[in-house]
Amino acid sequence: MTANTLIELAGVEKIYRSGKLAYAALRGVDLSIATGEMVAIVGPSGSGKSTIINMITGIDRPTAGAVIVGGERIDQLSEEQLASWRGENVGIVFQFFQLLPTLTALENAVLPLDFSHRGSKRERFERAERNLELVGLGDKFEHLPSELSGGEQQRVAIARALACDPQLIVGDEPTGNLDTHTAAEMFELLERLNAEGKTVLYVTHDLALAQRAHRTVTIQDGLVAGG
């Protein structure tokens, strides 16, 4: 692991069990991602792409191996420590937005700051407003998700991911539920964040979007097959 390495997976295995049945989602993954990289993860459905994302974000734990992010063995943290670590270090963007439908764009964007008790209420809302302006939604603070287009909802999700100014932005098919034009706009936003110093890691089925990353990592049958 070099000084510039942000993410290190070493011999990571993940086995899911159901009764007497066992399924190996990851079968010994070694992967390094440097600070400031933009990396696309590609591969067939069921290959283990999302499982890798879940390892890196601490959403799931490996059956074996080590997951190191920012010099910390996150696979050894307690659930409470993981929740705190994730809130401080990772912004996650999902395919289906996962906005709370009864909250406005601004209220959704401020949620991570509320959970982490960052600053005063006024400071939290001011930061959330800045993030919404950054993603081009400065005029949609009071709109509910149902009043926003799919692309606008994904912009709110990105603003929410940026709430605590994380070093790492992770997307699991972040453009998968958008039309081609809107997906391209979303990707340009991710590229801009990367240019500003954020490390960006995303799973995609869109090979054209994958080719715009600095590096493409191919996952097949629970192993790194290339990249």
Task: Classify domain 36-59+78-226 at the CATH topology level.
Answer: Rossmann fold (3.40.50)
Altogether, the residues listed in the chain come to a count of: 227
Of all residues in the chain, the percent with pLDDT exceeding 70 is 99
Q: What would the pLDDT profile of 189-212 be if each residue is shown by its tens digit?
A: 889 999 999 999 999 988 888 999
pLDDT band at 83 (very low <50, low <70, confident <90, very high): confident
Count the neighbouring beta carbons within 10 Å of the beta carbon of residue 164: 18
pLDDT of residue 151: 87
pTM for the model stands at 0.89
5 sits in which H/E element: strand 5-18
Q: What's the distance, Cα to Cα, between the start and end of the chain in Å? A: 17
